[in-house]
């Protein structure tokens, strides 16, 4: 139930909804001008102050592209992954492509308030786009989205409060980026190897491969003083601990996340529910490699809480003979050289179907320091990594707290205090 002074409406009743267009790519005089032209990839719950591409006045006049004023809300109607349903606000006059909806609010409706509301409703709007088997949004669907309408002064005040939270989150994100850059520099310095692409959504030019895949030729730098250049087979062995599955017993199955995201519980099943009967036990401290996903950086150390879980033969379980700390190996996996050796030790015609060959990979040479140096490197990198993780966790907490506040403020459950001059008698 909405509070007194609020009422329910639809987006179509409080705004004009249209879309843009794309000038002919084959006509050079339509491109490279001064008119900002926004694509769906630039709509990321943000305020748009510029665009990657520009069109000319001729391109604007000779296409279905339109010029939208500052304050227009843009929503991605198409797009893979998380793109569809994301919203942005124009801070400039700009045009868009046809895959973006332009939402121009009627007078008496604060764009910042509805930017926050549509951001809050992101998941519901994405589901809305699946209605009738259609996997995209359109202007007709957007017009049906239910919205609250509060007095304009209250809309503005709510938007201002939520903007303070956005500023705090953005500052923490900037700090996280800075700390991550420092982390990668420290990694390169201690391992004497350049770091790999940090995630699956990196922007580096990667020869058409996903950002997490490192397909280049492995090039091991010169061996630092006091280190030894040896094949990993000198220190690592693949271990197998066969698990005899009983139909009524339960087993924890683990998986390894891409981009060195760690070993995690996938599911808990009874013996009769496990489709692959050949399973092997893992122990805390094992180094685990997913043979199908290692080209994406899927490797990590089994944590204590997953000791005794099981994996199929789609995983390689590695142990050390004592002269290499598997935690040091985990940090080596953050290097580009490590990832490239994994790619070149895998066979297959498509990156998503490549199979890792452990025996081939163990023949690659690595620069390995003495064990005490490994321990020191692990200690330094552990400390730096914890700093990054703490900042990431703080961002998550801020986002959760903001989401709870949005649920109250955007529905009128919690009212804001207005200055006396703005309060309706």
286 located within any domain? yes
391 located within any domain? no
Beta-bridge partner residues of 197? none
139 and 230 together in one domain: no
What pLDDT is recorded for position 136?
81
191 and 145 together in one domain: no
416 located within any domain? no
Average model confidence (pLDDT) across the chain: 93
What pLDDT is recorded for position 425?
45
Average pLDDT over residues 146-154: 96
pLDDT in tens, 50-98: 999 999 999 999 999 999 999 999 999 987 678 899 999 999 999 999 9
59 and 202 together in one domain: no
pLDDT in tens, 111-141: 999 999 999 999 999 887 565 555 688 889 9
236 and 362 together in one domain: yes
106 and 226 together in one domain: no
pLDDT higher for 425 or 334?
334
Domain closes at, from 149, 173, 196: 149
pLDDT in tens, 162-184: 999 999 999 999 999 999 999 99
229 and 359 together in one domain: yes
Average pLDDT over residues 387-395: 97
Domain closes at, from 353, 368, 386: 386
13 and 97 together in one domain: yes
Average pLDDT over residues 7-18: 97
Domain closes at, from 126, 149, 172: 149
Q: What's the start-to-end Cα distance of the chain, in Å?
A: 23
**Least confident among 163-167, 171-175, 202-206, 254-258:** 202-206
Average pLDDT over residues 355-378: 97
Q: What is the CATH number of the domain that holds 84?
A: 3.90.220.20
What pLDDT is recorded for position 349?
86
**Range of the structural domain that residue 287 is part of:** 184-386
pLDDT beyond 70 at 270: yes
pLDDT higher for 334 or 203?
334
99 and 225 together in one domain: no
205 and 305 together in one domain: yes
326 CB contacts (<8 Å, ≥6 apart)? 285, 286, 287, 301, 318, 319, 320
261 located within any domain? yes
Computed from CA positions of residues 218, 221, 224, 230, in that sequence, does the dihedral angle turn out positive or negative? Answer: positive
Structural domains counted in the chain: 2
pLDDT beyond 70 at 214: yes
69 located within any domain? yes
Distances (CA, A) of 175 to 82, 169, 187, 390: 24, 10, 18, 11
141 and 271 together in one domain: no
406 located within any domain? no
124 and 251 together in one domain: no
382 and 259 together in one domain: yes
What pLDDT is recorded for position 129?
57
Computed from CA positions of residues 108, 112, 115, 119, in that sequence, does the dihedral angle turn out positive or negative? Answer: negative
pLDDT beyond 70 at 199: no
The CA distance from 322 to 294, in Å, is: 24
Average pLDDT over residues 396-410: 96
């Amino acid at each position: 139930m909405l509070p007194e002074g609020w009422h329910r409406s639809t987006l179509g009743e409080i705004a004009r909804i249209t879309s843009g267009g794309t000038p002919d790519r084959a006509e050079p005089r339509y491109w490279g001008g001064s008119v900002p032209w926004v694509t769906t990839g630039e709509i990321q719950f943000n305020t748009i102050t510029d665009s990657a591409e520009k069109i000319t006045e001729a391109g604007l006049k000779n296409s279905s592209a339109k010029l939208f004023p500052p304050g227009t809300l843009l929503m991605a109607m198409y797009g893979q992954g998380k793109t569809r349903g994301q919203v942005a606000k124009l801070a400039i006059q700009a045009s868009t492509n046809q895959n973006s909806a332009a939402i121009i609010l009627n007078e008496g409706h604060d764009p910042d308030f509805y930017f926050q509301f549509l951001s809050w409703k992101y998941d519901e709007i994405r589901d809305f786009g699946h209605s009738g088997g259609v996997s995209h949004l359109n202007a007709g669907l957007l017009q049906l989205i239910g919205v609250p309408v509060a007095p304009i002064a209250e809309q503005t005040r709510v938007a201002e409060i939520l903007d303070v939270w956005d500023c705090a989150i953005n500052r923490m994100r900037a700090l996280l980026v800075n700390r991550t850059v420092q982390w990668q520099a420290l990694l390169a310095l201690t391992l004497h190897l350049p770091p790999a692409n940090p995630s699956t959504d990196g922007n580096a030019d990667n020869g058409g491969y996903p950002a997490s895949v490192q397909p280049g030729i492995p090039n091991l730098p010169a061996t630092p003083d006091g280190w030894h250049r040896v094949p990993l087979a000198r220190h690592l062995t693949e271990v197998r601990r066969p698990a005899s599955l009983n139909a009524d017993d339960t087993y924890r199955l683990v998986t390894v996340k891409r981009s060195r995201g760690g070993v995690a519980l996938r599911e808990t099943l009874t013996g009769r529910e496990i489709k692959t009967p050949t399973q092997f036990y893992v122990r805390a401290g094992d180094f685990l490699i997913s043979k199908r996903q290692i080209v994406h950086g899927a490797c990590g150390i089994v944590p204590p809480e997953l000791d005794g879980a099981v994996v199929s033969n789609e995983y390689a379980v590695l142990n050390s003979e004592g002269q290499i700390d598997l935690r040091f190996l985990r940090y080596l996996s953050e290097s580009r050289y490590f990832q490239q050796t994994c790619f070149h030790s895998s066979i297959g015609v498509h990156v998503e179907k490549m199979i890792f060959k452990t025996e081939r990979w163990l023949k690659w040479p690595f620069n390995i320091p003495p064990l005490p140096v490994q321990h020191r490197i692990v200690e330094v990198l552990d400390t730096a990594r914890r700093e990054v993780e703490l900042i990431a966790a703080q961002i998550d907490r801020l986002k959760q707290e903001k989401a709870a506040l949005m649920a109250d403020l955007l529905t009128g459950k919690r009212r804001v205090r207005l200055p006396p001059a703005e309060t309706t008698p």
